[in-house]
Amino acid sequence: MTHHRKIAVLVTCLFSGSAGAAVLPATPPTINVDAGPLGKLSVGGLLSVNGRAQSNRFDQSGPAGKYFSADVTDGLVSVAKTSGLLQFYVEAGAYNFYGIGQPASSTGSTISSTFGPLPLAYLQITPSNDFNIQIGKLPAITGITPLTDLISSSYNIQFGLDGWQQQTISRGIQANYSAGPFSASVAWTDGYYSKRFNWVVGQLSYNLNSANSITIQGGGNAGQTDYAGPLDNSDFYLLGYNYSGSKLNMFAYLQYQKLINGPQFGNPTGDGDQYGASIDANYAFTPQYSLSTRLDYMAYSDTPSVYYNGQSTTLAGNDLGYGPGSRAVGLTLTPIYQTKHWFLEGELSYVHVYHFTPGDAFGQNGNQPNQFVGLLDTLSG
If DSSP states are collapsed to H, E and C, what string results for 209-269?
Answer: CCCEEEEEEEEEECCCCCCCCHHHHCEEEEEEEEEECCCEEEEEEEEEEEECCCHHHCCCC
Nearest Cα residue to 186 out of 195, 194, 196, 175: 175
Q: How far is CA 91 from the centre of its chain?
A: 17
**Side-chain-facing half-sphere of 35: CA atoms under 13 Å:** 14
Supply the pLDDT for residue 21.
30
The total domain count for the chain is 1
Q: Look up residue 7 and give its amino acid.
A: I
Nearest Cα residue to 193 out of 238, 143, 239: 143
Strand (E) or helix (H) holding 186:
strand 182-189
Q: How far apart are CA 57 and CA 66, in angstroms?
A: 6
- Reported as a single tens digit per residue, the pLDDT across 48-88 is 899 999 999 999 999 999 999 999 988 989 999 999 999 99
Structural domain of residue 266, as residue ranges?
5-380
DSSP-derived pairing of the beta strands 311-314 and 327-339: unpaired
Task: Report angle CA 94, 347, 275 to the nearest 5 degrees.
Answer: 85
Q: Look up residue 362 and give its amino acid.
A: F
Please check the confidence at residue 15 and state whether its pLDDT lies above 70.
Answer: no
State the DSSP code for 27.
P
Nearest Cα residue to 347 out of 374, 322, 378, 320: 374
Q: What is the mean pLDDT of the chain?
A: 83
Q: How far apart are CA 258 and CA 178, in angstroms?
A: 29
Supply the pLDDT for residue 88.
95
Q: Is 309 helix (H, G, I), strand (E, B) or coil?
A: coil
- For 151, residues 6+ apart whose C-beta sits below 8 A from its C-beta are 19, 144, 205, 215, 240, 242, 251
**Side-chain-facing half-sphere of 81: CA atoms under 13 Å:** 18
Query: How far, CA to CA in Å, does 183 sit from each of 8, 16, 154, 213?
Result: 19, 12, 20, 11
CATH number at residue 338: 2.40.160.10
**Secondary structure tally for the chain: helices H, strands E:** 2, 19
- Reported as a single tens digit per residue, the pLDDT across 307-340 is 444 444 444 444 557 887 889 999 999 999 988 8
- Reported as a single tens digit per residue, the pLDDT across 142-166 is 876 654 433 234 678 898 998 878 8
pLDDT band for 116, please (50, 70, 90 cuts): very high
Supply the pLDDT for residue 1.
39
Sign of the CA dihedral with 144 first, then 148, 149, and 154 last: positive
- Reported as a single tens digit per residue, the pLDDT across 260-300 is 765 555 555 567 788 999 999 999 999 899 999 999 999 98
Please check the confidence at residue 200 and state whether its pLDDT lies above 60.
Answer: yes
DSSP letters, 95-121, are E---BTTS----HHHHHHHTTTT--EE
Supply the pLDDT for residue 284.
93
